[in-house]
Amino acid sequence: MSDSDGTNNRIKYAYFLHGWCPKTGSKSVLASTARKVLVSEYEPRMDQHLFCPGCFTPLVRVPKDKAVFSNGRKACFAHIPTYRSVLCDLRSTKPEGKHYVDEEQAKQAIEDHELVVVSSFLDAPPDASEVKSGVYDQTPVEDIDGPISNVPIARHTGETFRLPTKISTINSLCRNFDHNLYRYYVFPGQRAAMRLVDALVNIRSVTETTDTPRLYYGRILHSFNAGRNPKPSNLRMTKLFANGAIADFYLKDVDSIQTEKGISDTSVNRIVLIWGAITWNGVGLCINRPKWGEYALLPTKYDALLEDA
Ligand SMILES: [Zn+2]
């Protein structure tokens, strides 16, 4: 399906920059100076100055003047036919993994911050001496260099590339989350580079346990210390909005660690991102004790990008 039928919600924002030209303009200038506009923030004056976060060609909002289509579907951004020759995976409603022609191309994508290979997430806060401090805030300060690994993202099936990896944290994904949404990531155990926007799984869609960890997001319904006489060493149970087909869904971890991450009794409605596998919790489901680097609260300024949480 193409985005012309108005079902595409993979384009969460458009770059809005007056007078920028897709044929001659600098992409890095666009990415660093344009305002990021949500579908709901669209105004007619922005026409012809909105650009795709994937291919940088012009976007329009459809329908232009209403928040919903006549059939009730929400408005969205769509590409224009003039630039049909520019390939963009965001034209499709169906995410595809990205494959690279050769190792050089993949290495270049890593250098250009378009691709990140995450070999694992941090177990504990990094030693200050290990942290590579970012010159500017696009470089997540919690990432440390991981091993050179064989990564199966070649166009040629079965071929792997030897690539530098990062030992990262979900917190660093949440920083500059809007930019990160359209970067490609290879997460631990995964065999394709996916844009972050396509790798994220809504907790509300989860109805079963899983063995394979994935990246989930959910909205907090309720959070409490499970101790009879609450102490920081007790478990904190953070209940997330869940699928109607299951009893409930919890993020379970020690209170002191959740507190460190800003999760408390008053975190209702905040969005949390968690890397993990889904296990049973009584009659419901949970992600049980993710590692220190495997979950974080999303800064509220990005909530609108995950409006279905
Ligand atoms: Zn595009």
Q: Alpha-carbon distance 270 to 299, whole Å?
A: 8
> Of 48, 67, 91, which residue constitutes the final position of a domain?
91
Q: Is residue 250 part of a domain?
A: yes
Whether residues 243 and 297 fall in one domain: yes
Whether residues 266 and 174 fall in one domain: no
Beta strands in 1-141 (DSSP E): 14-16, 35-37, 50-51, 59-62, 76-79, 115-121
Question: What is the dihedral sign for C-alpha 273, 278, 280, 285?
Answer: positive
Whether residues 295 and 205 fall in one domain: yes
Residue 262 gets the label, from left (phi > 0), alpha (psi -120 to 50) or beta, of: left
Whether residues 78 and 132 fall in one domain: no
* Among candidate residues 168, 257, 267, the one with its CA nearest the CA of residue 219: 267
- Report if pTM > 0.85: yes
The 10 Å CB-count burial string (b at 16+, else e) for 161-175 is bebebbbbbbbbbbb
Q: Alpha-carbon distance 269 to 223, whole Å?
A: 10
Ligand 1 centroid to residue 1 C-alpha, Å: 14
One-letter-per-residue 3-state SS of 133-145: CCCCCCCCCCCEE
Q: Alpha-carbon distance 253 to 290, whole Å?
A: 7
> Of 197, 225, 247, which residue constitutes the final position of a domain?
197
Whether residues 83 and 138 fall in one domain: no
Q: Is residue 96 part of a domain?
A: no
Q: Is residue 97 part of a domain?
A: no
Whether residues 26 and 41 fall in one domain: yes
Instruction: Show Cβ contacts of residue 89 under 8 Å, excluding neighbours closer than 6 positions.
Output: 54, 95, 96, 98, 195
* Among candidate residues 257, 230, 244, the one with its CA nearest the CA of residue 284: 244
Q: Is residue 173 part of a domain?
A: yes
Whether residues 53 and 147 fall in one domain: no
Ligand 1 centroid to residue 218 C-alpha, Å: 27
Q: Is residue 275 part of a domain?
A: yes
Q: Is residue 45 part of a domain?
A: yes
Whether residues 181 and 207 fall in one domain: no
Q: Is the pLDDT of residue 94 over 80?
A: yes
Ligand 1 centroid to residue 289 C-alpha, Å: 38
* Among candidate residues 190, 142, 148, the one with its CA nearest the CA of residue 165: 148
Whether residues 78 and 107 fall in one domain: no
Total domains present in the chain? 3
Neighbours of ion ligand 1 (CB under 5 A): 52, 54-55, 88, 90
Whether residues 228 and 299 fall in one domain: yes
The CATH number for 250's domain is: 2.40.50.140
> Of 60, 91, 122, which residue constitutes the final position of a domain?
91
Whether residues 117 and 178 fall in one domain: yes
Ligand 1 centroid to residue 241 C-alpha, Å: 32
Tokens of 31: 């990415």
Tokens of 109: 């994508």
- For the stretch 116-149, pLDDT in tens is 999 999 998 876 555 554 444 444 457 899 999 9
Q: Which residues constitute the domain of residue 268?
A: 200-306
- For the stretch 20-51, pLDDT in tens is 999 999 999 999 999 999 999 999 999 999 99
Q: Is residue 254 part of a domain?
A: yes
pLDDT at position 141: 59
| Helices assigned H by DSSP within 153-271 | 170-174, 177-180, 196-199, 255-260
Ligand 1 centroid to residue 77 C-alpha, Å: 10
pLDDT at position 138: 44
Beta strands in 66-134 (DSSP E): 76-79, 115-121
Tokens of 183: 């970067």
Whether residues 276 and 212 fall in one domain: yes
Ligand 1 centroid to residue 24 C-alpha, Å: 16
Ligand 1 centroid to residue 254 C-alpha, Å: 42
Ligand 1 centroid to residue 52 C-alpha, Å: 5
- For the stretch 286-305, pLDDT in tens is 999 999 999 999 999 999 99
Ligand 1 centroid to residue 193 C-alpha, Å: 17
Ligand 1 centroid to residue 58 C-alpha, Å: 8
